[in-house]
Chain A
Amino acid sequence: GAVVSQHPSWVICKSGTSVKIECRSLDFQATTMFWYRQFPKQSLMLMATSNEGSKATYEQGVEKDKFLINHASLTLSTLTVTSAHPEDSSFYICSATPGTSGRGGTDTQYFGPGTRLTVL
């Protein structure tokens, strides 16, 4: 249980284009979804928190107009990197919380497999 998928698993795009990454909770409804960015050999950096049906809350220093987050349903959140540039190349990971006790607690985050974005 508590499986989170991401699509695509990797993407290569040209500078200036936009890229959409999907995050789905497959066997539970996610009250909250999180988006992280991870650079090589570093820990996860939280970008934003999104709740279904409301605007995402962005961490300090994260441009909300560049990283558009839509949490359209309890099982789907999308991250769109607009006008991508080479410095946006990174590993993007989403996570979701089920909001009910399971193997972990209500605050436990279950992570997707990540999306590797390379901007040429």
Chain B
Amino acid sequence: QKEVEQDPGPLSVPEGAIVSLNCTYSNSAFQYFMWYRQYSRKGPELLMYTYSSGNKEDGRFTAQVDKSSKYISLFIRDSQPSDSATYLCAMTTGGGNKLTFGTGTQLKVEL
């Protein structure tokens, strides 16, 4: 079993839809959680960073962490075609330790 599980998709939604992206993890030592967006042939771009259970909002993006269930989510409101990309969840135990990534979910927002 992988430490971090993420549905690879592809996920196709119409423009304006609310998108829900999820990851589950098995290591309870993970304390810091990130979401990255990666466009084709580009490096990942940090979208959200959280370290506590609950919600964190930034514009159209909301990151949700449930440590008791070992489950994190990224919600995208009013999705746009420019949101079409691969979304990677990542997490770390902290203390400068390496990130553990999900496989990434490919999202396509259609006009």
Q: Which residues of A contact B (CB under 8 A)?
A: 2, 4, 6, 31-32, 34, 41-44, 46, 49, 91, 93, 95, 97, 103-114, 116
Complex interface: chain A residues within 8 A of B46 (CB): 2, 103-104, 108-111
Cβ-defined contact, A44 with B98, below 8 A = no
Chain B residue at minimal CB-CB distance from A116:
B41
Cβ-defined contact, A93 with B98, below 8 A = no
Complex interface: chain B residues within 8 A of A111 (CB): 36, 43-46
Bound form: Cα–Cα A113–B43 in Å: 4
Q: Which residues of B contact A (CB under 8 A)?
A: 32, 34, 36, 41-46, 49, 51, 88, 90, 92, 94-99, 101-104, 106
Total A-B Cβ pairs within 8 A: 63
Cβ-defined contact, B98 with A91, below 8 A = no
Known: A43-B104, A104-B34, A108-B34. A93 touches B44 (CB 8 A): yes
CB distance from B20 to the nearest CB of A (A): 20
Given contacts A46-B99, A107-B99, A111-B44, 12 further A-B contacts (CB under 8 A): A4-B43, A6-B43, A32-B96, A41-B106, A43-B104, A44-B44, A111-B43, A111-B45, A114-B41, A114-B42, A114-B43, A116-B41
Of A6, A34, A103, the residue contacting B49 (CB under 8 A) is A103
Bound form: Cα–Cα A116–B40 in Å: 12
Bound form: Cα–Cα A26–B97 in Å: 23
Cβ-defined contact, A109 with B103, below 8 A = no
| 5 A-B pairs with the lowest CB-CB distances in the bound complex, closest first | A111-B43, A104-B49, A114-B43, A113-B43, A111-B44
